[in-house]
Every structure is written in C-alpha cells, then in structure tokens.
Chains A and B, each alone.
Chain A
Amino acid sequence: MTSVVIRAEALVKDYGSVRALRGVDLEVEHGEIFGFIGPNGAGKSTTIRLLLDLLRPTSGEVEVLGQNPAAGGPELRSRIGYLPGELAMSGNRTAREHLEYMVRLRGGSGANRLEPLAERFGVELDKQFRGLSKGNKQKVGVVQAFMHSPALLILDEPTSGLDPLLQREFLDLLLEAREAGATVFMSSHVLREVEEVAGRVAIIRSGEIVDVENVRVLRNRAGQHVEFKFGEVVSQEDFAGLSGLTDLEVTGHSLSAVLRGSPDGLLKAAARHEVVSWSASNLDLEELFMDFYRMPDET
C-alpha cells in the first residue's frame, strides 16, 4: 500500500471563468488525520469534489489511494467514506431507508455497523428525513460515511450542526477509525474543530494552500499570553528586548505580554522583582489563524 493517500499537484479548477483552485499541492499520508482549513469560498469543497470524481481538474494532477479518481471509478470509491458539506437527502425516506440504500449501493458493505453506529449517535432511524433537525440529519451523514469502515474518510465540515457532546463522540469515532488504519481528510472553517485530533493541517485561501503545518508547531507559533503581578512598581525598560516577547504592556505593578518560545529570559527578568502572582495561558490558535484569513490577496 502506498504511503501517500491523497496527492494533488498544481491542481487548478475553473468554474467557467471563475478560478476556484489556483494550483493546489497536497500530500496526505497514510494513517494521518489531516485538517483542511479555510474561509468560505476558499476552495475546500471544490478540492474534495475533485477527489471524488464529481469534478474533473482543469489542469494538474490528483491521486487518491494511488489512483486517478476518474480511472479508479467505483472500485476506488468503495474504499472512501464521504460526508458532504451540504448534506441533502430525499425527505420522503426514513433515515433507515437512506442508510440501507447506501448499504445496497456498496454491495452490502457496512450492513452490520448500521445499527450500532446509529444507536451510538442516537439517530432516529424510523423518522422521515425531512422531519429531522439539522443536527440529526448530520448524524445520518456521519453514520453513512463511517458505516463501511473505509480506508479513507473525506469529511467536508463534518461537525457542523452537531452539539458539543456529539462533536466529542464524533472525534472519538475519528480516532477509532485512525486506530483501525484509516486516513482522514477533513475540512473546516476553524482550526479549533480539528486542533484536537489532527496531526497536520493545510490552510487554503482563495484557491491556494498558504501553509501546511503540524498542529503542534502552529500551537507553538501561536504562543502564550503571560501576566505577572509584582509587589512593586516595575518599568517597561526592565523587560524590553527579551526574545520571543511581544505586545508587552507594563503598567504600575503588572505586566502582560505574548510569549513565543522559551520563557527563560522573561522569568529571569521577572525574578529581579518581587512576584506576587503570575499566569500563562495558551493563546487560541484561532487568533493565529485569523492572520491567514486576513493576509492580503496577492493575485
């Protein structure tokens, strides 16, 4: 088995005159949970639809599980579980009818996991699909994507509509799938949703990958917010020029700053005064991520 599960090279996709992807390069490795993050209209769903052979590339190469999606056809798709970004299912069928239909389309694969998974997520199997709430519909989508234990899960904004408890359950399911050897490619608007489980993330904006990074590295880069209270009045100069320290604010007895990297210099400088209290909290990755969103469009 190839160790690269998804490979895209200089992938370009036009919708008529609209260029949705401007040369996307991606490599997702076997067994990883890969986050695909970007704002609305960045090209996440477009990339995903190219992986599933719903769309054909304008130019560039794409390979899934070692095969071109069009050439791989049904056999390739039998090893993929897909959760669409906008799940639409006929309102007249019950959830059970929908899931049993998917089982039949997959030649019987997944029949034995239908009930257990549905129960785990509390899917209302015998209600008409149109009568389900948004979150309950999404659960049906989750079950059909995982049911046949696919080698590759392609999930387009999977947690949208799920309450925190079910998001938790969903993340557990993801980890179990990875444990069983599956690879996961999941998109989201926000890093927070994938931060906990993802190994690496790619950030896409306006049809271009602007960064591919390990989540831990991103976290380090995001840094910590530190605060000190001193027993005496301190001055800005005592802390100026320390490496990794930004947004420094010193007023009277207190100091607040953002620290990236080693805390050594800051602690030693602080120790020259009487420290009454101190705290350090991880900065929300979202703030770092927002910088990517705001980066000027250089096209």
Chain B
Amino acid sequence: MFNETYPITAGVLHDQRRSLTVWGSAMAGITVMYVSIFPVMGGLDIEALVSSFPDALVEALGYNEIGTASGYISSTVFGLLAPIILAVFSIGVGSRLIAGTEEDGTLELELASPTSRRAIYVQRLGALWADIVLLVAVVSAVTWAMVVGLSLDVAFMNLVAASIGLGLLVLGFGTIALAVGAATGRRPVAIGVAAAITVVGFMFDAIGPTIDAGWMMAVSPFSWYMDNNPLSQGFDVVGTAMLAVLPLAVGAVGLIGYERRDLMV
C-alpha cells in the first residue's frame, strides 16, 4: 500500500535498509556505553571535580548538572553525541537524496516519469525525516531501557521532550542540506552550507552564555533545543516551535527553487 502511494519514499528506505541498520546499531551502542557509565561515575564525585573547573568552561561544556542522571545524559548523549553524529548522517543523506542523485544521474528516469518535481522532493524529504525519526527513536528507546534498568532518575515525559527536540534539531540540518541541494543541484554546496550552519550553531550555543551574547543563543538551533534542559525541565514550547519551523520553512524554500530550476541530470 505505502509502496504504491509513496513509491519514492519506499524506494529510498528500501535502498537504505542496510546502512540504517548499521547507523541504528551504532547509535544504540553509543547510548548504552555512555549511559551505563553514569552509575560508576557516582563514586568518583564528578560534581566536585567539575566544580573545580572555571565557571565559563562548565557553562560552555554544559556540565552544570553533570551529577544528576538527567544532567549527565543531557551533557553526553542528548546534548553532544547524538546531535553531532546524527547531524553528520542527516546532512550526508539530505545532500545525497536530491543533489547527489542529480549529480550521478540516477534521478533522471524518475524525473522523466509521470511524477511531479514536487512529489519527488516531498517524498525524498519524507524519507529523510523517516530516517531521523527512526534513529532518534532508537536512541530514546535505548535510553529509556537503561533508565529503567539502572533505576535512574529521569522522567519519561522529559525524555519524550528531549527526543522530540533532538529529532527536530537533526531534521533541521538534514532539511537544510536537502533543500540547498535541491535548489542548487550541487552536493558539495549542500554539505558545505548545512555543515557550516551546524558548526556555527553549535559554537554559538557553547560560547554565547560565556560571553553574555544572548543573540548567539537566540539564533542557534542548539540553544533552542538545549537551553531549557528538556531532560530535566520537560517541554519548552518556544524552543520546540522554533525547531519545528526551521525545517518546514527551509523545506518550502528549497521546493520553490527546485521547481523553477534546470535539472542537470
């Protein structure tokens, strides 16, 4: 059924089945590794260690709450590893799904088929979003299993809030890559723009608080995601809304560019 209604999304996901398995396993492994260290660290009095760091460094590293389970998981898995690794995945896939297939010519028959450019764009974007939902779900499910298994103090709804934030954040970077690729037809440009926005956003979020530059946090998607510590504080409506608007807006602009352009398959 899905195969007939959304053949392009289904085709992409089918092609990705092996690589998704690898990425999913890697994300699960990393999550297990990091979360399982937390109880061990309890004995090391990590808070005392961190409190000896300069305040600015603690702020930049986001280690303010490193002694609590939610603070620790925020600083490691949700605030650092998952966003960065998944951003790499998302930008790689997003740039390939349209610009990459246009460059290597494999999109040509699809474009010449009775499918509109809009359908191609939306269905390929849909595949990217499905990938990210899947990988974030793996991270979240494994985290929840660890939380329950190790009796850590993390509220389920807060984990849901953080997962939604993480998903939207990563989806934003991937959508930028896909949209820039669709508007330009150039994969390197797509990767360059999306990676630059990711890195600058990450740096603004880290540096902003230490030099009192509120505007840096105002424009950084990482700040929209992590500023209010969803793992300990739960949903942040404004931040979540900003994270949701980014991919939708960028996605729409990319589509407009894609429908108007010469395609160089």
Which parts of A100-129 form the interface with B (CB within 8 Å)?
Answer: 101-102, 104-108
Q: What range describes how many residues of B lie at the interface?
A: 20 to 34
Known contacts A73-B116, A107-B114: does B109 contact A89 (CB below 8 Å)? yes
The answer on a CB contact under 8 Å between A104 and B263 is: no
Pair count A-B, CB < 8 A? 65
> Does the CB pair A54–B112 fall under 8 Å?
yes
Q: Which residue of A lies closest to B15 (CB)?
A: A92
Is B154 interfacial (CB-CB < 8 Å)? no
Q: Say yes or no: is B249 at the interface (Cβ < 8 Å to chain A).
A: no
Interface string of A52-79 (1 = CB under 8 A from B): 1011100000000000000001110110
Determine whether A275 belongs to the interface, using a CB cutoff of 8 Å to chain B: no
B16's nearest neighbour on chain A, judged by CB, is A92
Query: Looking at the complex, which one of A49, A74, A84, A101 makes contact with B114 (CB distance below 8 Å)?
Result: A74
Complex Cα spacing A64 to B115, Å: 17
Cross-interface CB contact of A105 among B7, B105, B263, B265, cutoff 8 Å: B7
Closest approach, in angstroms, between the C-beta of A21 and any C-beta of chain B? 13
- A117 CB to nearest B CB, Å: 16
Most B-side CB within 10 Å, residue of A86, A89, A104: A104
Residues of B within 8 A of A54 (CB): 108, 111-112, 262-263, 265
B25 at the interface (CB under 8 A from A): no
| Contact partner, A82, options B104, B109, B115, Cβ 8 Å | B109
Interface residues of B in 110-126 (CB under 8 A from A): 110-116, 119
- Residues in A whose Cβ lies below 8 Å from that of B111: 52, 54
User: Once the chains bind, are B263 and A55 in contact (CB under 8 Å)?
Assistant: yes
A265 to chain B, nearest CB (A): 53
Verify if B151 is at the interface (C-beta below 8 Å from A): no
Residues from chain A with a CB closer than 8 A to the CB of B4 are 104, 108
Asked if residues A101 and B106 are in contact (CB atoms below 8 Å), the reply is no
Asked if A144 is at the interface of the complex by the 8 Å CB criterion, the answer is yes
- Interface: B11 (CB within 8 A): yes
Q: Which residues from B are CB-within-8-Å of A104?
A: 3-4, 7, 11
A78 contacts B114, C-beta separation under 8 Å = yes
Residues in chain B near residue A77, CB distance under 8 A: 112-115
Whether A74 lies near B106 (C-beta < 8 A) is no
Main secondary structure of the interface of A (DSSP, over half): loop
The reply to whether the CB of A8 lies closer than 8 angstroms to some CB of chain B is no
Interface size class of A (residues with CB under 8 A): 20 to 34
Restricting to B75-133, which residues have a CB under 8 Å from any CB of A? 104-106, 108-116, 119
Take A92-B15, A101-B11 as given contacts and tell me if A144 and B115 are in contact as well, using a CB distance cutoff of 8 Å: no
With known contacts A84-B108, A86-B105, A101-B7, A106–B262 Cβ distance under 8 A: no
B-side contacts of A105, CB under 8 Å: 7-8, 110, 113-115
Query: Residues of B contacting A101 with CB < 8 Å?
Result: 7, 11
Q: Known contacts A54-B262, A102-B113, A106-B113: does B15 contact A88 (CB below 8 Å)?
A: no
Task: Tell me, yes or no, whether A37 is within 8 Å of chain B by CB.
Answer: no
- Most chain A CB within 10 A, of B11, B104, B112, is at B112
B7 and A88 contacting across the interface, CB-CB below 8 Å: no
Q: Which residues of B contact A56 (CB under 8 A)?
A: 262
Asked if A52 and B112 sit within 8 Å, CB to CB, the answer is yes
Knowing A54-B262, A86-B105, the reply to whether A93 touches B15 (Cβ < 8 A) is yes
Contacts of A262 in B (CB 8 A): none
Residue A245 at the B interface, CB < 8 A?
Answer: no
Q: For the complex formed, measure the closest distance between the CB of B232 and the CB atoms of chain A, giving whole angstroms.
A: 43
Known: A74-B115, A77-B113, A82-B112. A55 touches B262 (CB 8 A): yes
> Bound state CA distance, A243 and B145, in angstroms?
96
Q: Is A80 an interface residue (CB 8 A)?
A: yes
Chain A residue at minimal CB-CB distance from B101: A90
Closest CB in chain A relative to B9 CB, distance in Å: 11
A104's nearest neighbour on chain B, judged by CB, is B7
Q: Which residues of A contact B105 (CB under 8 A)?
A: 84, 86-88
Instruction: Report which of B106, B112, B116 forms a contact with A88, defined as CB distance below 8 A.
Output: B106
Whether the Cβ atoms of B3 and A90 lie closer than 8 Å is no
CA distance A80 to B115 in the complex (A): 12
Q: In the complex, A150→B111 CA distance in Å? A: 16
Measured between alpha carbons, how far is A108 from B114 in the docked complex, in Å? 11
**Which 5 A-B pairs give the minimum distances between C-beta atoms?**
A88-B105, A78-B114, A104-B7, A105-B113, A74-B114
List B residues at the A interface (Cβ < 8 Å): 3-4, 7-8, 11, 15, 104-106, 108-116, 119, 262-263, 265
A-B contact pairs, 9 of them (CB 8 A): A52-B111, A55-B262, A55-B263, A73-B116, A77-B113, A84-B105, A102-B113, A105-B114, A106-B113
Binding site for B on A (CB under 8 A): 15, 49, 52, 54-56, 73-75, 77-78, 80, 82, 84, 86-90, 92-93, 101-102, 104-108, 144
Known: A77-B112, A106-B114. 13 other contacts (CB 8 A): A15-B262, A54-B262, A55-B263, A56-B262, A75-B114, A77-B113, A77-B115, A80-B112, A88-B106, A93-B15, A101-B11, A105-B7, A105-B114
